[in-house]
Every structure is written in structure tokens, then in C-alpha cells.
Amino acid sequence: MSKKVWMILVVLLVAVAASACGEDAHDHDHENEGDLYEASFVEAQAAKADGNIGRLGSVAPDRKPFGKQVALTFDDGPHTTRTPRVLDTLKAHGIKATFFINGNRVNDDTRPILKRIIEEGHILANHSYNHPNFRSGENMSERNACSRSDERRTERLRQEECQIETTHNIIAELTEPVYFRFPYGNNTDSANNHLDKLGLRSTGWHVDSGDWCFSNSNGGNGNVGDCPRSSITSNTEHQKSMVAHTMAGIDKHQGGIVLFHDIHEYTVTQVPVLIEKLIESGYTFTNIDNVELFPILNGITPAFIGDVCADDETCNYTGGFCEIYPASLDSMDLAGFCTEKCEGFCPDAGGKAGTFCTSFDGGLTGQCVSRSDEVNNFCQNIPGTKAQERDRFIGTDNPRPSTVEVCVPAFLD
């Protein structure tokens, strides 16, 4: 066989490998990528208002406060030079973090970085093969995969599974895969189901650093360090400081899971500054496998809003307490359900009825209750309650007004 033929075969084999899950776009620099990141930021901020966020890819299921403990996470690597510098920073401060990698970045040059991540005690996690938009199908091999035909639908599912499994297998060669993060936080039900089959945990975030915007690669105004998108940095003082913007988010949650991207030079230079600021402000560092801090993420289902309780100890989640009330108007028996105070929004959880913030004291304070839902048999599974339309409590979260049918103690009628 001629040398020319051999060269052609090698090129073809490389092309086939690279196209296993679509285009190998190392920097996934689409024209609208800044818009996708911004949309995920807005979705994560608004998710608490009306939807069940238990399976939303951009939102971590465990809620604040987090006792001033911060878990740093980095997406889109490994980068040949920038990821090692992030690792140097973390090592200097004794911090363990999580790195969500894209499989198409793993090669002979970057594989040693993965080994270093593991050897230094960090978590190696899955961020798909080549960073597609799971919801639209963009950057998967089938550009028109949203077609409703069975053939196209089958192809779309195959591509989702390939995106997840290819990187899953890369990680499995080095350590046990546990966590997955959807690119842009854009999950689908079918992809969630495939994560379940593989035993992977979908991992969102509490604080988006917006580094993709500040780095000017996707959304800046021409000046590195500026983020002019008002939906990301509504505080104009923060539009010129990723550290100030991120600190504000961390302070709001008193910690939590923070999102960065270790492919950006700006991120690499600013993470040390943020770490010093956090230390000065009394924060400590943890990782996403902290079961006590992030029980739902790690597969433990604590009591939740609407669960039946007899005392506060039963409601063993941050901010939870047991609302005790008469089981009926003609009985001395008592009943109770888990609740928490709210300022307009309440958290939701997978497998639980949706929640709603209303008031039991004439609008002075807000309290979380379960919505009337098939999950709770339309309130019948919560003793002493009945389905009743209630107005949303408008507190400092400043939500939009809404009226919803929820489960409240029957005596309040």
C-alpha cells in the first residue's frame, strides 16, 4: 500500500473518531454562545419562582444557607496551560475543587492533567463530549434532530447518550464517575434518564461567576474584565469586577456551589483574588461530595416542604421547621407538615410536589407550602389540610403576584 493511501486512511480514522459525537469544537465558540450562557443564568435565577427545579440542569437542588462554605467548580477543560495554573492556585491554598471536563479536549497532552486532578484530591466530572446544547441539538452531529419523526428522534437519543457515555468512559479509566453537568445547564428528560441509568448526578450551581462574560470571549463589550449584560450584573459597580459580582452571589447564599470555566485566561488570573477575598471574609472551602452540605445532590433525600412531621427535628433540612395545627376542627388531635420561612420564592425538589410562598398571618411574613398536586393526592396525603387558592407573599425576593391552589391547614378556611 502506498504512503499516500496510508495517509488518507489515517486522516479518515481521525475524522471518524472526532465525529463520534458530532463536531470537535474545542472552544465551542458559537455566535450565540453568550446568549446561551446568559439564558442559563437567567433560568437559574428565576427557577425558584414557579417550576420544579429538582431536575433543572442549571440549578443545584440543595438550598441556602451553606454556613459560609464554598465549593469551587470548573467547566470546559482540560486546557493545556490554564487548568494546571488553576491547580497550582488550589494547591497553594489547600482547596479541593471539581473539574467538569469535555471529552474532546482529552488527548496525549492533556491526559496527564486529568491524572494530576485526581492525584491532588479533586473530583473529575463529566461535562459532555463536545459541549452541545442538549435542548436544541446544536453541535450534535444531527443539526435537524428536533424533527418529530421516529428515525430522527432515535438519532437524537443516540447522540445524547454518546455525548454522555464517551466522556463517562474516559473518566472511568481513571476514577469512578459520579457527577455530570449539562452544557449551559440545558438538560432534557431523556438525557436525565440516561444519567440515572449510569448512576450520574446532575450538578447545577448556586452562583454563576459570569467569567465567560468578563473574559470577553462570549459577551463582553471589548474590554476584558467588563460584563455589560444587565441580566448578569444588574449592579453597575459589579460590571467591571468578576470578583465583586461573584462575592455578591456567594454572600447571598452564604456559600454554595460556584461555577467557573478554566479555559479562560481572565478566570485563571482572578480566581486567586477571589479566594483571598473569601478567606478574608471568613469563608471556608469544601467540595460537591459534601453529603451534609449537599445531601440531595449526593442522593440523600431529607424531609422537605409538605412532608408530614410531628416536631422540628423531623424537618431535618436547613431552615426547616414543623408547622403544627389542629388535625380537624372537632378534634384535639394535632397534625403538622414541614415548612420554612420565605420572601416570595420557595425551593422545589425532584419527586416532591411544587411549592409556593404564601402567608398565614395576614401578609406579615411568608411561609412555604405544597401546591395541590397529584404527588400529594391533591392535599389528601397531608393530614388536616385542604386545597385552597392562596395569594403569593410578596417579600424581599420581589416576585410577581400569583394565585395558586395549595395545601393549607383546613382551619384557616
Quick: pLDDT tens for 42-74. Answer: 666 655 444 444 567 888 988 877 999 999 999
CATH number, domain at 220? 3.20.20.370
- Say whether both 352 and 265 belong to one domain: no
- Catalytic residue from among 24, 50, 62, 75: 75
Quick: pLDDT tens for 151-166. Answer: 555 788 889 999 999 9
Domain boundary among 286, 302, 335: 286
- Say whether both 282 and 316 belong to one domain: no
- Say whether both 177 and 258 belong to one domain: yes
Domain of residue 273, residue span: 16-286
- Say whether both 129 and 33 belong to one domain: yes
In angstroms, the Cα distances linking 35 to 13, 77, 188, 218, 301 are 35, 21, 19, 8, 34
Whether 261 is catalytic is yes
Query: Where residue 109 falls among pLDDT bands split at 50, 70, 90?
Result: very high
pLDDT at 55: 65
The model carries a pTM of 0.73
Query: Where residue 79 falls among pLDDT bands split at 50, 70, 90?
Result: very high
- Catalytic residue from among 131, 261, 307, 373: 261
Give the distance from CA 284 to its chain's centroid: 21
In angstroms, the Cα distances linking 374 to 183, 211, 351, 400 are 32, 41, 11, 25
Say how many domains are in the chain: 2
Whether the per-residue pLDDT at 335 is higher than 90: the answer is: yes
- Say whether both 240 and 117 belong to one domain: yes
Sequence-separated (6 or more) residues with CB below 8 Å from residue 204 = 44, 56, 57, 58, 59, 60, 61, 181, 185, 257
Instruction: Note whether residue 377 is domain-resident.
Output: yes
